[in-house]
A and B are shown apart, each in its own frame.
Chain A
Amino acid sequence: MPNPVHVADTVPYPWPYNGELAVGQLALLICGAQRRLFELSMSSPEVSVRLVGLADFVRGNGGRVIWIRHGDAGRPGRPLQLLPAIGSDGWMLACATDPSDLVIDSAGWDGCFGSTLDHRLRTGGTRTVVLGGFASEVTVDSTVRTLNDQGHECLVLSDGCAPIDLHLGARAQHSLTMSGGIFGALGTTSALFEALQRSLSQTSTTNSSPTREEIPA
């Protein structure tokens, strides 16, 4: 068993809870990187630079990058001004994705609703989920609630979230930290980078010692 690895200074507990942090078993979930939500959110350009940089690192080291596209799929009842209709200009992704990334459509604010997200996370061997995104108090905050109920161990990036309303975005992140981490934990992009690099160097150290398979017969 490798030594436990935690991200530094996560609130309210050292994340992940079991110290089993490995980029190959991590999914970076970026919610609402869509034209309408990107335009309405505060600090979208800065946040997208951080998320795209993290996505490059995660993808380059065997992790999963997943983009959630929230769309109105013929929602019954009252039309929601903010939720872009599928196929409309505002629904299109506002960031460049890689062909190896997953783009998952959800039928509401919760990335799990009407989507294959939970299935993909379970079948893809994901052990930890990191979330960021745009209109974050609506998209990220809805998605992390359901993922947490499903048992996923979630980290929300405090500097990887671009809310529509800065105050409400901050309160949504504060709610997450209540009761010992009611939906997971909160941390920064730089601390996550550092912890992932630490876990990679630990893995490479482990791999450099001879294993049973490497000993010639």
Chain B
Amino acid sequence: MNTTVAANPYAWPYDQVIDPAHTALICIDWQVDFCGPGGYVDTMGYDLNLTRAGLEPTARVLAAVRRLGWLVIHTREGHRPDLSDCPPNKLWRSKNIGAGIGDPGPCGRILVRGEPGWNIVPEVAPIDGELIVDKPGKGAFYATDLDLLLRRNEITHLVFTGITTDVCVHTTMREANDRGYECLILSDCTGATDPDNHVAALAMVTMQGGVFGAVASSADLLEAIEG
């Protein structure tokens, strides 16, 4: 058993035990489409350095929790090749800004399962035995088996890395928090297309005593679990 993480706004977790048997690392959407050249985010014209910034610290955290035997779950956002699981308004909006879901791009069809752009980038790629959850939306709990996987593995505590901070990571952390999971987000293992939204999303977590959980750096987590 470990000591707690020096997190904001409280020492995480609230029950003061980081038990590898009940704690999972959730890596959200580290896909080429969101942080690789030629992917969806790149096609929309955003600065890739913003979404790639968390890769290196995330790789360090992954190495540590693999040694400790934590459950690791990776998520991927993407749609079926025939787009039958893509809501029409989502499809319309993507086309409206010139990055249509399903349209051909430098990394294959944008946000489509099985295409090169949908793959997780090599820096933080899953290894054998790790779980992968494919999701059609922003939240990893909606229309997926994530909650079932967590319950079946007796997971009660979640540590989040991934992109983007204010969209898919925040949506999933909010979903997890509502369901009673004890959540920690790693500030330097996330990133957003707008740096101010990244900072605000982290601050939102800490409101009112930790309305969605707590925030810590990867160094703070590593100090606690590798101690």
CB proximity to A under 8 Å, residues B120-146: 136-139, 142-143
- 1/0 per residue, CB under 8 A from A, across B57-80: the answer is 000000000000000000000000
Name, among A107, A149, A182, the residue most crowded by chain B CB atoms within 10 Å (CB to CB). A149
* Stretch touching chain B among A53-61, A137-145, A204-212: A137-145
Q: Does B44 contact A (CB under 8 A)?
A: yes
* A113 to B181 alpha-carbon distance, docked (Å): 14
Please tell me if the beta carbons of A182 and B211 are within 8 angstroms of each other in the complex.
no
**Residue count of chain A within 8 Å CB distance of chain B:** 42
Shortest C-beta distance, B152 to chain A (Å), equals 16
* Stretch touching chain B among A25-33, A77-85, A90-98: A77-85
* A6 to B117 alpha-carbon distance, docked (Å): 34
* A175 to B139 alpha-carbon distance, docked (Å): 15
B interface with A by C-beta (< 8 Å): 13-15, 44, 87-90, 92-94, 96-97, 99, 136-139, 142-143, 156, 166-167, 170-171, 174-175, 177-182, 193-194, 196-197, 200-201, 203-204, 207-212
Chain A contacts for B210, CB-based, 8 A: 78, 80
Please tell me if the beta carbons of B197 and A81 are within 8 angstroms of each other in the complex.
no
Please tell me if the beta carbons of A145 and B139 are within 8 angstroms of each other in the complex.
yes
Residue pairs across A and B with Cβ atoms less than 8 A apart, 11 shown, are A13-B96, A17-B89, A77-B182, A78-B210, A81-B208, A81-B209, A109-B174, A137-B204, A138-B207, A151-B89, A168-B204
A interface with B by C-beta (< 8 Å): 13, 16-18, 40, 75-78, 80-82, 107-110, 113-114, 137-138, 142, 145-146, 148-151, 153, 164-165, 167-168, 171-172, 174-175, 178-183
Known: A77-B182, A180-B97. A164 touches B207 (CB 8 A): yes
Please tell me if the beta carbons of A168 and B203 are within 8 angstroms of each other in the complex.
yes
Please tell me if the beta carbons of B201 and A153 are within 8 angstroms of each other in the complex.
no
